[in-house]
């Protein structure tokens, strides 16, 4: 790996989140942040709330909880004890990364000054040998690298490196990148074939080191990432030997996603980065097996992952409880990160479908509509006690969702040798440099995800033929497409539609995705969903919430097999949503007399008519408290009572 100018078709990805330009194996090169301007009414308001309110609130929390003071202390600017949990540095680094992606597209002098001040503190806290972790400063200096299993030193280093790369790409400044390089060099001197064995109990640094190799052209960091990945599953173990830390088998022999959900998916993302650079077939085979296990047996309909509160972990295959779902916000984000790397490597729509499922449901449910309150867990059923919070003692989720929202424009498009790829849909304009060196501008006009009509307008000066690849979502069965007025044949959902021609300034592509309301059932092995359905429209999962149902307990709502839906756009509700209403039933509990059990009397459930209103799952818990439910029972015939 050597530093070299970006190829022509990759020049518009200078500010990309992941930039595999050094690899000939990655089929796609993502457009950078500066190449895409979102103007839509779904994502852009969230990004602006994140920018204007969320980042400022998180900076205040970092000050109030001592996270920033920990750097002042380590720099010798104040005398005070370390505050908080030993991995608190990572939250500051994620906040810096989020700010960097904002500054890549927005002119915000106040935010820029705040970030520079924090970066100056980070730099001042670094030791002469390059080591940097405020917990292991002064009285704990002798404890460095003595407990990789638990203490997150390399995890924090990974977030520092990712923040430094983002800030360098966004601003061109090397202040933080210099700090990250010095720390990475320190790590490479300590660990490796000629140094210590071991790897972090919480993967993160692996993908950071690969990206640092791409940023600097120094292959040493790629080799260091490979070393850490290869430490998993060694006998005797050098990490923990546990399923919890994905250390039970060497990574190339693992066939089931197990253990702590975020740790697992961060590890797989790092493995995919290494695969992209090396092309190793054994890694490819393992990752394919793990991906299929994740999406086919361990992912909630919301895109959330990680079923168990114990260990924030994956459960057994098909273990997907609803009210006890852990589904950490960070785990849904980790799924996006892994699938994005797989998409760039393989250019297959299944990865973009998985990203969309998580983004529209399991990720943004983690933040309130104003961007200042957060879920750590995202259950699919609740009795009314689960509410978003401004911060947590373990505060990984708020800055994680902040950096994802800030970087979102970088996920919409990619280029390849053949042309331009459209992954996601929202009002925006994009500018891309093709392999030929010519510039193409693309404008999207749509009300997605509320409406399935999408208009793409091409502006180009080239008279050369190239291909526009547009994703037809997997849920969009019966989708249609037109180029100008001519309908395109053989439009397949769950694939990229390849449109090859010499494009002209007046060319338009129109896509039409059916937005019928669908009732979705789960695999019979998912025990909690027997005889139940979830409601979906487009990419959105819906739920029923107490706020819309008066005295009816939504846990008693039951759907008929073929409900008749009324679809209503409500700009005055929850920031603007489409609601779904239907005539349904309320289950009536009779003749129990305080009994918990009784002799079976046959099918004796009674119902009364009820009006059901469903809202998008991501928007729940933004009003008064009360129960919520995603999966609803269905009945063929209901015995009605007055």
Convert the pLDDT of each residue in 60-79 to its tens digit: 999 999 999 999 999 999 99
**Terminal CA-CA length for the chain:** 75
Interval 507-524 mean pLDDT: 97
From the candidates 156, 200, 330, 396, which is the catalytic residue? 396
126 exposure class (CB count in 10 Å sphere: 0-12, 13-18, 19+): buried
The average confidence (pLDDT) of the chain is: 95
In this structure, the strands spanning 557-560 and 632-635 are parallel
Residue with tokens 């756009």: 569
What tens digit of pLDDT does each residue of 180-213 get? 999 999 999 999 999 999 999 999 999 999 999 9
Residue 532 φ/ψ, nearest 5 degrees: -125, 160
Per the rule left: phi > 0, alpha: psi between -120 and 50, beta: everything else, 79 is beta
Where does 232-357 have alpha helices with state H? 261-278, 281-297, 329-346, 349-357
Q: CA 108 → CA 46, 52, 103, 608, distances in Å?
A: 17, 10, 7, 56
Cα distance between residue 591 and residue 605, in whole Å: 10
3: pLDDT confidence band, cut at 50, 70 and 90?
Answer: very low
Domains and CATH numbers, the chain: 415-512 (2.60.40), 517-635 (no CATH)
Specify whether 477 is catalytic: no
Residue with tokens 């209403």: 581
Cα distance between residue 508 and residue 445, in whole Å: 11
Specify whether 453 is catalytic: no
From the candidates 206, 312, 356, 545, which is the catalytic residue? 312
pLDDT value at 244 more than 60: yes
pLDDT value at 275 more than 90: yes
Contact 125, 183 (CB under 8 A): no
pLDDT value at 638 more than 90: no
pLDDT value at 459 more than 60: yes
Give the CB-side neighbour count of residue 94, counting CA atoms within 13 A.
Answer: 25
Q: Given this model, what pLDDT does residue 330 score?
A: 98
601: pLDDT confidence band, cut at 50, 70 and 90?
Answer: confident
Q: Given this model, what pLDDT does residue 602 score?
A: 76
Query: Who wins on pLDDT, 615 or 23?
Result: 615
3-state secondary structure 511-553: EECCCCEEEECCCCCCHHHCCEEEEEECCEEEEEEHHHCCCCC
Task: Please provide the DSSP assignment of 150-191 as one string.
Answer: TS-HHHHHHHHHHHHHHHHHHH---HHHHHHHHHHHHHHHHB
């Amino acid at each position: 790996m050597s530093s070299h100018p970006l190829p022509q078709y990759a020049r518009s990805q200078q500010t990309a989140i992941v930039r595999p330009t050094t690899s000939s194996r990655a089929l796609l090169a993502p457009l950078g942040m500066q190449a895409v301007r979102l103007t839509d009414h779904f994502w852009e308001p969230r990004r602006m709330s994140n920018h204007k309110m969320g980042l400022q609130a998180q900076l205040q929390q970092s000050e109030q909880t001592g996270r920033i003071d920990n750097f002042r202390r380590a720099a010798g600017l104040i005398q005070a004890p370390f505050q908080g949990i030993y991995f608190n540095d990572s939250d500051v680094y994620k906040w810096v990364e989020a700010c960097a992606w904002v500054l890549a597209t927005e002119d915000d002098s106040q935010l820029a000054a705040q970030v520079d001040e924090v970066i100056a503190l980070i730099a001042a806290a670094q030791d002469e040998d390059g080591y940097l972790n405020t917990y292991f400063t002064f009285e704990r200096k002798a404890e460095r690298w003595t407990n990789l299993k638990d203490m997150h030193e390399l995890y924090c280093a990974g977030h520092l490196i990712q923040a430094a790369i983002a800030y360098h790409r966004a601003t061109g400044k090397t202040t933080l990148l210099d700090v990250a390089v010095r720390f990475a060099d320190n790590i490479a001197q300590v660990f490796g074939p000629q140094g210590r064995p071991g790897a972090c109990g919480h993967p993160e640094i692996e993908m950071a080191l690969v990206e640092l190799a791409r940023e600097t052209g120094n292959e040493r960091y790629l080799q260091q990432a490979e070393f850490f990945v290869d430490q998993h599953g060694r006998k005797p173990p050098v990490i923990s030997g546990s399923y919890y830390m994905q250390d039970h088998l060497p990574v190339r022999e693992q066939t089931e996603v197990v253990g702590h959900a975020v740790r697992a998916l961060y590890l797989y993302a790092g493995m995919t980065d290494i695969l992209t650079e090396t092309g190793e077939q054994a890694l490819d085979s393992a990752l394919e097996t793990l991906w299929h296990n994740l999406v086919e047996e361990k992912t909630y309909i919301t895109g959330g992952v990680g079923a168990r509160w114990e260990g924030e972990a994956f459960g057994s295959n098909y273990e997907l409880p609803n009210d006890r779902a852990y589904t950490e916000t960070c785990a849904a984000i980790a799924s996006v990160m892994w699938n994005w790397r797989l998409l760039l490597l393989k250019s297959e729509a299944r990865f973009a479908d998985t990203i969309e499922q998580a983004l529209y449901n399991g990720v943004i449910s983690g933040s309130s509509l104003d961007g200042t309150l957060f879920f750590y867990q995202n259950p699919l059923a609740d009795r009314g006690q689960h509410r978003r919070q401004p911060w947590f003692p373990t505060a990984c989720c708020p800055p994680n969702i902040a950096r994802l929202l800030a970087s979102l424009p970088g996920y919409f498009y990619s280029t390849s040798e053949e042309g331009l790829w459209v992954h996601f849909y929202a009002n925006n304009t994009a500018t891309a440099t093709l392999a030929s060196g010519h510039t193409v501008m693309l404008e999207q006009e749509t009300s997605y995800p509320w409406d399935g009509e999408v208009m793409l307008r091409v502006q180009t000066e080239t008279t050369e033929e190239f291909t526009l690849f547009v994703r037809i979502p997997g849920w969009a069965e019966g989708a249609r497409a037109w180029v100008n007025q001519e309908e395109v044949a053989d439009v397949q959902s769950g694939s990229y539609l390849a449109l090859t021609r010499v494009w002209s300034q007046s060319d338009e592509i129109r896509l039409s995705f059916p937005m019928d309301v669908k009732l979705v059932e789960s695999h019979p092995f998912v025990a909690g969903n027997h005889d139940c359905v979830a409601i979906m429209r487009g990419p959105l999962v819906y739920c029923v919430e107490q706020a819309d149902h008066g005295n009816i307990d939504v846990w008693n709502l039951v759907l008929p097999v073929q409900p008749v839906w009324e679809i209503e756009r409500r700009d005055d509700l929850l920031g603007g949503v489409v609601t779904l209403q239907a005539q349904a039933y309320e289950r009536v509990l009779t003749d129990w007399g305080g009994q918990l059990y009784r002799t079976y009397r046959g099918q004796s459930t009674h119902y009364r008519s009820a009006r059901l209103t469903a809202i998008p799952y991501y928007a729940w818990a933004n009003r008064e408290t009360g129960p919520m439910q995603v999966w609803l029972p269905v009945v063929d015939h209901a015995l009605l009572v007055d």
